[in-house]
Structure 1
Amino acid sequence: MQIPHIPVLLDEVVENFKEIDGYFIDATLGYGGHSEALLEANKNIKILGIDQDEEAREFSRKRLEEFGDRIKIYRGRYSEVVPKLLEKFPIKGLLADIGVSSLQLDKAERGFRFDSDVLDMRMDRTNPFTAYDVVNNYSQEQLKEIFYKYGEIRNAAKIAQEIIKNRPIKSAKELAAIASRVLPKKGKIHPATTLFQAIRIEVNQELIELEKLLDALELYKPKGAKIGIITFHSLEDRIVKQRFKEWAKKCICPPQSMRCECEGDHQLGMILTKKPIVATQEEIAQNPRSRSAKLRIFQFRDDNGTQR
């Protein structure tokens, strides 16, 4: 079976979740790389995989069918499916690999590539809202806002204005050409990289999805569960880092309080990664896209209020 996607930080994921006994959520199943490795390494794990991409789900069904009832696959956004699974199953762990898969990036018809003839960028192709709608229907102010917020583009106003002037824009190729004229090139990185990132995040509501996932975990507080989240850019990593930090706080008194009055036992668990786990040089050489990957892990308190 030809594998279209190389999962990042695979050895590190297996090492950190190898002792899970019971139900584990792979919130971003993709092409099943992480799930396959975990199922092979741990006979006691049962994986509940989620993905909104039909092509990815079908591929993973075939790839993982040998594991029988140890794998069950769900369709949908993880922000919608995870709360249902947390309510139904005693979850012992969760992994979320935030971002776009290599196959989605590499297939020109998906519209993520700079040379694509379409403007799509949907992870869920049943969603009617595409990159074309963002580029051609958003106001100049809306475009400026998402370019600055999601792409951290300093001259967001200029590229937004240029897009308005060149409408209609029908392909990613056209959009990349406009970006090349307006945005500065940084080394070998294509000038359109952060622009495409911002549009992709808007189309798929990626940061909102991540926030909703963390909200669900905070609400259900799965006892003793290990939570691993892999991010690929600073916006995502900042959200995860800050939320894990909040969860680990013992004292929840207001900052202006002179002394602790909450009894200081409010931490939901502990951060297991003081610094994020990153790819080795060997992995980066094999898979350059792993260069920006960061894995942070948090463990919720168990029934006794302690970590396992």
Structure 2
Amino acid sequence: MAPTYLTKDPVLVPNTGYIFVAPEGTPKPVLPYDIRTERTLRDSVGTSWASIGNTSLENGLTHDSEGDDPEVLGTWQKPALRTTNPPKVFTVTLALADFTIDTYRLYYGGGDVAADGSFVIPSVPAAQTKALLVVAVDGDRHVVEYYERVSLIGAEGVTYDPAALTEMQVVATILSGANGLGQISPVMWGKAVEINPPTVTEVTPATGAPGSQVVITGTNLTAPATVWFGVYEGVNPVYTPTGTQLTVTVPDPVETGDLPVQLKVETNFGESAGTSFTIDQS
């Protein structure tokens, strides 16, 4: 069974990102990665993958696709009988900011190094076929894109702008691999974060009126947490530094009369098993 990457907030603000290339067909490094620092990330992906260095802050990576739109086909009796599936070509455009021999080779399509260390631009450019790995980082979470085979060659021209960092746009055309075009992960936590869902061992008392307080004992009862009384959310949770106890106020439900519910604690790392509780409205 595939692993589940637990998070209540599966959105991404890619504050930082890293792009690696490797010989085509290089397997994807095992997920998740340790994203605490660039060094720990490099250790996670392994020595087979080489960083392409800096990319543009504003134009660092762009996805695009080319191809015809699906066309609706039908008969007189059934005007919308089926749709076509025209082929699509997917590309990833990288705005490289480092002026290195490796960057030049990607942009100019191969090339040699002269005796004085200068790069020799080839007369006949040849796209470089490689594996591509993109790691987009949002705090302690990240998303990984992996492409087993891409064809890399320069796109737009290079402009020397005194007011901006100079960029070289390289287009990676995604090619078919052994397992489709590529893979993209869900939002997941890095290895630096322990993925431990909360547990509840005791709820005191086991019955409480709306507005009263309940003490929950267990493990991994850390902020931010939501305490569910059935479908109703507990009010004003208060945590202990050890994460072993949580105090919460019983909510006021819509239903009348005593209400048996399952009390659960939910955090970014999962949800506890249910514990029987009764909201006393007598």
Normalising by the smaller structure, the TM-score range is under 0.3
TM-score by length of 1: 0.20
TM-score by length of structure 2 reads 0.21
| More helix, by proportion | 1
